[in-house]
Chain A
């Protein structure tokens, strides 16, 4: 009897959460579906996708000894295609050792610093990005699935709140464009659902590969808000909310966007 009750409670809880999804799972669409033909062609082919240059670099870094410990990633993790398979699809996640929810670039940077004893770097440093691209590449095609309960709950709720709040001089909330007006035009562009599936992504505007955190900062700049620094915790909070919201969509990293 009590087992049936606990099953009932779990079902209610997940149903309640499911009802709060602003876009139902069947209507989720990657940003690539809102992109023009040229961007789609660039992403579709690894020989044309400039993001693959960072994947190749990440592959080299994985095997290169670094830091005061003079060891490479492979010395602990082995073959990335085995050890990192699917891993990126479960980020951001709560990291017990670090005591907080982290995104993939932060996790990689912490590993470099802690295990390789390499000097601290920004999560937007090129080496960190390249390794992020290499690790994310091992999860290409894997459906996003993140944990938002337990120790991740606080970050998830903060991220959801941030997503629904108005920001900047334009006084716009993310939900207003990306939940309520996706598919409509903004000048010559079509508003996407703001999904995180393509990141790290080669953005033509950046002329290089960048993280989801950078893209969120760019969005905040776009609504004339104060841009938080790259390591601001709210960026990870929002990234966790976005990953929950995107549950089931396959990772496309490295994506190409305009």
Chain B
């Protein structure tokens, strides 16, 4: 993430990163990113990146908008290797960065599954 930021500081606004406070299972954690407008005309969202604090692969996903999106709301399911913070960074066409940080608690199952 530091390499991507290259010294820039994102503004902590306009991005909402929704994750459960306690994950049912770290293998599939529902995630929603919402970036509020205004958008085109004027700068619009070009990319949104998701970074993990402790996963072995910290760069989780990059969403790209080749054309100006009218509504930026994305849901998916992510894998989290343990309790950690997740960071979403939206980059606008004028280079401005907006970010949100959310913490998720990930526990082990009550019963181990050997199948």
Contact = CB atoms under 8 A, between A and B. Distances in A.
A221 B107 contact: no
B49 to A, nearest CB: 23
A207 interface: yes
A221 B29 CA distance: 25
Contacts of A186: 110-111
Contacts of A218: 111, 113-115
B25 A205 contact: yes
Interface in B13-37: 20, 22-25, 27-30
Contact of A204 (B28, B108, B110): B28
B109 A219 contact: no
B24 to A, nearest CB: 4
A223 B109 CA distance: 13
Contacts of A204: 24-25, 27-28
B77 to A, nearest CB: 9
B25 A258 contact: yes
A189 B111 CA distance: 9
A188 B107 CA distance: 8
Contacts of A37: 20
Interface of A: 35-39, 41-42, 186-189, 191, 203-207, 210, 214, 217-219, 221-223, 227, 258
Interface of B: 20, 22-25, 27-30, 107-115
6 contacts: A37-B20, A187-B107, A187-B109, A188-B22, A203-B113, A258-B25
